[in-house]
Amino acid sequence: MVSVTFPDGATRRYPAGIRGGEIARSISPSLAKRSVAMAIDGKLADLADPIERDADIEFIDRDNPRALELIRHDAAHVLAEAVQTLYPGTQVTIGPVIENGFYYDFYRGEPFTPEDFPAIEKKMAEIIAKDRPFAKEVWSRDAAKAWFEKRGEAFKVELVDAIPPDQEIKIYKQGEWLDLCRGPHMTSTGKIGAAFKLMKVAGAYWRGDSSKPMLQRIYATAFANQAQLDAYLHQLAEAERRDHRRLGREMDLFHFQEEGPGTVFWHSKGWTLFQTLIAYMRRRQQTERYVEVNTPQVLDRALWEMSGHWQTYRENMFTTMTEDERVFALKPMNCPGHIQIFKNGLKSYRDLPLKIAEFGIVHRYEPSGALHGIMRVRAFTQDDAHIFCTEDQIKEEALRINDLILSIYKDFGFEDIIIKMSTRPEKRVGSDDAWDKAEAALTRVLDELNARGFKAAVNPGEGAFYGPKLEYTLRDAIGREWQCGTTQVDFNMPGRLGAFYIGPDSEKKTPVMIHRAMFGSLERFIGILIEHFAGHLPLWLSPLQVMIATITQDVDEYALEVLAAARQAGLKAEADLGNEKITYKVREHSLTKIPVLLVVGKREAAERTVSLRRLGSNEQTTLPLEVALRDLAAEATPPDLKRLKADGMRGVPAEEPVLAPAAGVQNP
RNA sequence: GCCGGUUUAGCUCAGAUGGUAGAGCAACUGAUUUGUAAUCAGUAGGUCGCAGGUUCGAGUCCUGCAGCCGGCACCA
């Protein structure tokens, strides 16, 4: 007998080996009818699985959130059957559930196109309508291989071979069709329902390896009901509307053109935003005692050979040859340059840690397929720094960087940050002893982060060849993750390039170098900001903060007075005196995402007020000019300066905020 | 780089079967002086991504190349 405990705490005893479905039926026919799967001790399982030991059992119905992955996984099997029915000769490979749906990778000579989707979806609906039960069978390895070999399913044979010897070979049948699968599945295909949709086709390498064959991937999604599917599709459309490439054009921030693939033409407004970020970062770094430098863009090949870049990074480098046949390379990284500055003049242990920062423009010849707006470009500015220190100082410095990065992200409204530590890769340099120390130091940082409630994970083997790293990742509007900040501990390059300092014992010592970026790249960070705020940048970041719009030309003079006063208050302001209706001006400046519109007409001119309208809101507040400008100027103060001001004014009563906070700012 | 798609006016997009290019918005000019997301009228604007080829004739068909888009691989 086994003892089974239900979610309400009730316990019943059953003969060992009883199936979940039988237990459900013993409780009530309706429970048995609506259950599609169960969770044994919290782990999803087939309803038909036997219960061999005492366990907690929860029955899962279709509407249970945990059923969603089953719906999608079942739908993946149905997709595969539909494709093999419609396109005989197509080989199946794998079809996992992913964050917002699922995909299935096929091998077929002909590509699939979205025009094929209606037929496939129709066939899927037919298979679902037949409501065939999913039946699990355990096969012998040889039987499974023979079955797939006979059908020319070379990829499945490879998958069978890859299953560890101690694991069963599980086969799920749905009527005639079957697939190798670890499960679990719902009770039958009919449980999938009708809320599924094929999304797109794409190429994908077998096993994610670019040396292996290219497969045809069909992306799809499924939900428990149509309303949820519709909501998801709506969310996708919203995400597309905040795409930084579209907003960059609409807000007149930057453009690209064919002659410069992956290189940005920054327009005046985009460059203003860029410089606002640099000014902010410069202040934060100065407080942390970084020194800022600037190193050459183009350096002789010999230096890159010494640093190891020529050997390991050559295909990513832009090179140039001059008339006298000397070969130079555009810097793809700033580190060798910073080491030259470190080496210039004898350093003492008393100089450490020495923090050298640069807003360094680097060029990297990225694969053409990798380019993506300003998120992934071939020329970009890093907020780079290299901290030269001793091994003993690594932990404290890494923690300081961590705290600074998190504080900075918070100032921009990012508090949901993915932190990962990447450890020693197979291909690496340096002694295991040094790696142990570096990883231990970063692990202590990681432990500290976990203690503070961050979910920091480890990426084994993903570190740089010269040391382990911490990676800080932000998400864009449609959930894509972009690595921004990074802290890398390097025991290699200072030695390679001959950097040393004089220790307390008068001996030469090689410093450890911590590579570190916080924005990562200004380009990428700006792209993420645009999408995060959907173009509705906070006032302090807006390249144009205030637009003064007149109602009639009678008030031009007052409008110009308001403009001068706004600029006097430190606001980035323009005036629109155009001969247009106010509705036209409101629309115009809303579309270019100007955060504050100050409307002036005869009334305002007479009373010396302004009518203030926020981007994203249709409410208006009429305020005395001085009050409006004072409050806007306060709001436009960068967050770090605001803190300074607050510190300086401690003891002074806080002023009542007069302006409503910006409306229409959405977080993703 | 790989797989697929795509490229026509500043933007969004029409242009079956080959016969020499069109709309809306934007721009420009004029009228209108307007109270919170599009005032009206007129004007101008394109070697149809680039280079070859087929044809009496190519935006349309063929070949090559490039850019862009979606993935994959790579990555800040």
**Bridge partners for A596 per DSSP:** A546, A614
Q: Of A84, A174, A216, A382, which one is the catalytic site residue? A: A382
pLDDT of residue A226: 94
Q: Per-residue pLDDT for A576 more than 90?
A: yes
Indicate the pairing of strand A55-61 with strand A2-5. parallel
Q: Which nucleotides of B are covered by protein (CB under 7 A)?
A: 1-5, 11, 31-39, 49, 66-76
The mean predicted confidence, pLDDT, of chain A is 91
pLDDT of residue A663: 36
Is A364 a known active-site residue?
A: yes
pLDDT of residue A480: 67
pLDDT of residue A668: 33
Indicate the pairing of strand A177-180 with strand A169-174. antiparallel
Q: Sorting pLDDT into bands at 50, 70 and 90, what band is A659?
A: very low
Lowest mean pLDDT among A298-312, A356-370, A465-479: A465-479
Q: What percent of chain A has pLDDT over 90?
A: 74
Cα dist. A71→A35, A128, A185, A521, A652 in Å? 13, 11, 8, 40, 60
DSSP state letter for A213: P
Reported as a single tens digit per residue, the pLDDT across A152-167 is 999 999 999 999 988 9
Is A131 a known active-site residue?
A: no
Mean pLDDT on A540-553: 95
Beta sheet of A291-292, edge-to-edge order: A291-292, A354-363, A379-389, A512-521, A481-490, A469-475, A418-422, A457-459
Closest nucleotide over all strands to A111 (CA to C1'): B4
Q: Per-residue pLDDT for A572 more than 80?
A: yes
In angstroms, how far is the first alpha carbon of chain A from the final one? Answer: 51
pLDDT of residue A357: 97
Q: Sorting pLDDT into bands at 50, 70 and 90, what band is A455?
A: confident
Closest nucleotide over all strands to A210 (CA to C1'): B73
Q: Per-residue pLDDT for A41 more than 70?
A: yes
A577 vs A474 pLDDT, higher one: A577
Q: Per-residue pLDDT for A660 more than 60?
A: no
- Determine the distance between A20 (CA) and B74 (C1') in angstroms: 46
pLDDT of residue A478: 59
Is A386 a known active-site residue?
A: yes
Is A181 a known active-site residue?
A: no
- Determine the distance between A579 (CA) and B29 (C1') in angstroms: 14
- The dihedral of CA A187, A189, A190, A191: what is its sign? positive
**DSSP states of A65-78:** TTHHHHHHHHHHHH
Q: Sorting pLDDT into bands at 50, 70 and 90, what band is A477?
A: low
**What is the model's pTM?**
0.89
ipTM reported for the complex, 2 dp = 0.93
Reported as a single tens digit per residue, the pLDDT across A603-636 is 999 999 999 999 989 999 999 999 999 999 999 9
pLDDT of residue A158: 94
Q: Per-residue pLDDT for A662 more than 50?
A: no
- Determine the distance between A366 (CA) and B45 (C1') in angstroms: 37
Is A509 a known active-site residue?
A: no
Q: Per-residue pLDDT for A248 more than 70?
A: yes
Q: Of A364, A395, A536, A589, which one is the catalytic site residue? A: A364
pLDDT of residue A654: 46
